[in-house]
Structure formats: structure tokens, C-alpha cells
Amino acid sequence: MGMAASQARLLSITARLTNNENTGQAVSYSKQRLADQTQQITNEYNEALDATKLTVLTGFNGAQANYEDISYNLMTGLRMAENSKQYVVTDTKGRVLVTNEIAKAYEKSKGDYNSFLAQLGYSQSDMIIQNTDDFTDAQKDVAGQKIHEAWDKYFATVGINLGDYEHDTFRDEFQWNNTFRNGTDVSEVGDGYTAYKDKDGKWQPINYEGTTQESRDLYEYAMAITEAFLRTTNDAHNKPYIMSGADAIKSAADPDNASAIKYYQNIFNKIQSSGYFTYTNTPAEIDENHLYTSEGTGTKGNVKKNPLKDNYTFEAALRDGSLRLEYYSSTDKAFKSTTISEDNCIQEVADERAIAKAETKYTQDMADLENKDKKLDLELKKLDTEHNALQTEYDAVKSVVDKNVESSFKIFS
């Protein structure tokens, strides 16, 4: 081999050795990164093993307490109110977070309790409607007297005295007037007003003139039973409804409806005193009471998940304090503040689903890293074999070059 050829070969081998060593170093760095990722995955897995979730007491099966994962619908629903406590969720301003259904019922009722209940399919009336063949005049008189006495209780709280006028038949002393628009009766349950016949035989509308909650409750009840008894329909069949058929409204005449009516009454009173808000994914509805939520879409308002529907968002909001809890105290007859840490119906437990999910992810991630590590080991072994071969060839060629150089010096010496 000529000297020039030997030197060229030596340079080529040197370049390959350098490239081999650089590649080996890169592979070693990759293995180090895998080790770092392994540690990170292990740390995340260990943290996930401590994952917890909030559960709430929903009732008892004998002596066994039943808990379910916390969610807005469960926490604030009628079932919870019947079996445990009635809760409401508020923001930091104290406004009540309600469903779209309740928000629309309140907005449509314009703050009238009877109308609010009617929008939700209920009435606080414990009276059966008037015009059914099953009612005798005597029964109608009894019902009419009940209406008269209900109004008298309200009148007493606002200082109205109708005098000593004696009523011949109580049921003939009140009438119900619906709301007419363009000559057509378009009123719904909760619409219209009641009027009484004064001692001169003239009809006088009864307007609310009270200032206390007691007075308001008496007024609303009297309005409800008056409407239930005097509103007309053709096929009531002596049922505890204000209307029948498709328009049937569940009333307090059926004791099974009592808890639902009380549930909605508490919500209505809370809205009246504290305000309300809800979420919408319709930009046209956005205002101070309708917050925007439509995950990943839209430009107006804050794009966020809806805590009414997303349980993780709801729980996270309770934990960070952006949403707060209140429960109804039958002793105080009002909602009282509580927290997830102090409420005896709420407990924090290991989140088995999250832990199982973390275990699955950990196993998959570790298997991926192990496969990558094996591939890198094979690459390093291949590079080591190549390096040994190149080093052997490099030593041989270098020996030839050295001999050629030595021979050249002898010739010219």
C-alpha cells in the first residue's frame, strides 16, 4: 500500500471512529434521558396512588351508609334533599348556581313564586279544581270557605279589614281573572289575579301589600288555592291537579309532592335573596347571569368546562373555593355556609378509578421505555462491535503508515 493511499485510508477510519464515538455518546445520552423519564413516570405514579375524590352521603341501607361520587346534580338534586340535606352551590359573591331549567323558570315567572312553581310543573295549592261533576255545592262551599279564610289570614298581616259583611256562600265571593292579550286568553298557571266582592257587591283586585316573609307566604298560598279552585277545565275528574291531561300540574293536594314543592320553594327564596347564575353555550344568551361555556369553541366570554355537567370541574371548583356550598337548616329556616372539610356528609376517599388508570398508564409507559432501552442497548452493542473493528483496522493501517514514514526517513538520511 502506498503512503498516500495509507494516509487517506487512515483519515477515513479516523472519521468513522469519530462518528462512531459521537453516535455512541448520543445513544448514551438517550439512555440517560430514558432513566430520567423512568424516574418521572415513577414519581407521577406514586403521586397518583395518593389520588382522592369527594363523595357525599346519599342515605342509608339499614345501618349501612351509602356514599356516591360528588357532582353538581347529585349534590343539589331533590334526592339529596329528601334523603340527606338540601344543598345549593354559590359563587364567591353568594349568587346561586342553578340549572338552565330553573333559571328559565325564574326568568319567566318574573319573580312570582306560584308562576315559578308552575313552570316546573308544581303548585303549592292543596285544593282540587272547581268545575267537576264530582263536586257537590256543599263541597264547593267548604272549598270556598277555605279560600276566604286563607285571604283573611293574609289581610290580617297587612291591616286590611273588610268589615262585618256576611257572606252567603264563600265560594261566590272570589273570582279569578286571567291575563288577556289581543282579546285572547293566553295566561298560564301562575298568571292572572284574584279579586274579591266587597260589601257593595263590587269586585276588587287583591294586590300584595305586605312587607314580611310571613305575609308574602300567606299571600302566595291564598293565590295558589284560589287559582286552583276557580281556574276552569273540563276534565279534572276530582284529581289533585290544577289542570289535567298534558297540562297537569302536581299540587300539594298529593302529599307525595310536598318535598319537591318545599325543595323548589327554598331555591326560589334563595334566588330572591342572593341572585343566581347559570351556564350557557349560546353566545346570544350571555349576560351577567348566563356565563359562557363551550369547551374548545367560541370567542366570547371564558371558554371553560361546565361544572353543572363536568364532575371534575365541579369538584376542583369546590376544592379551590371558586364555588361554595350551603345547606338548608330547618332550624334557622335558611341556607347556612359549609365546606367540604367540615360538612359531615362529605368525605374524601381514595380514588380507585384514578389509581387503576394510573397503574395502567404506568405499566404501558414503563413497557415503552423498556423497549426503547433494549433498542438502545442493541445500538450500543452494534456501535461497540463496529468501534472495535475500526480500531483494529486503524491500528493496522497506522502501523503501515509509520513503517512507510520510517523507511522514507532512512532513504533521505
Q: Are 7 and 387 in contact (CB under 8 A)?
A: no
Cβ count near 328 (within 10 Å): 20
Q: Does the global pTM surpass 0.75?
A: no
For residues 243 and 230, give the distance between their C-alpha atoms in angstroms, rounded to a whole number. Answer: 11
Cell 462491535 belongs to which residue? 385
The sign of the CA dihedral 53, 56, 58, 60 is positive
Beta 64-69 vs 52-61: how paired, if at all? antiparallel
Phi, then psi, of 300 in degrees rounded to 5: -95, 130
For residues 365 and 42, give the distance between their C-alpha atoms in angstroms, rounded to a whole number. Answer: 10
Q: Which residues of 383-398 are buried (b: 16+ CB within 10 A; e: fewer)?
A: beebbeebeebbeebb
Give the per-residue pLDDT at 275: 96
Segments making up each domain of the chain, as ranges: 3-50+362-412, 56-95+275-350, 99-273
Give the per-residue pLDDT at 413: 55
Average pLDDT for runs of 10 along the chain of length 413: 69 82 84 84 71 84 86 95 94 95 93 90 78 68 85 90 57 70 57 78 86 92 85 44 58 90 96 94 84 60 74 91 95 93 86 75 83 85 84 78 67 57
For residues 11 and 5, give the distance between their C-alpha atoms in angstroms, rounded to a whole number. Answer: 10
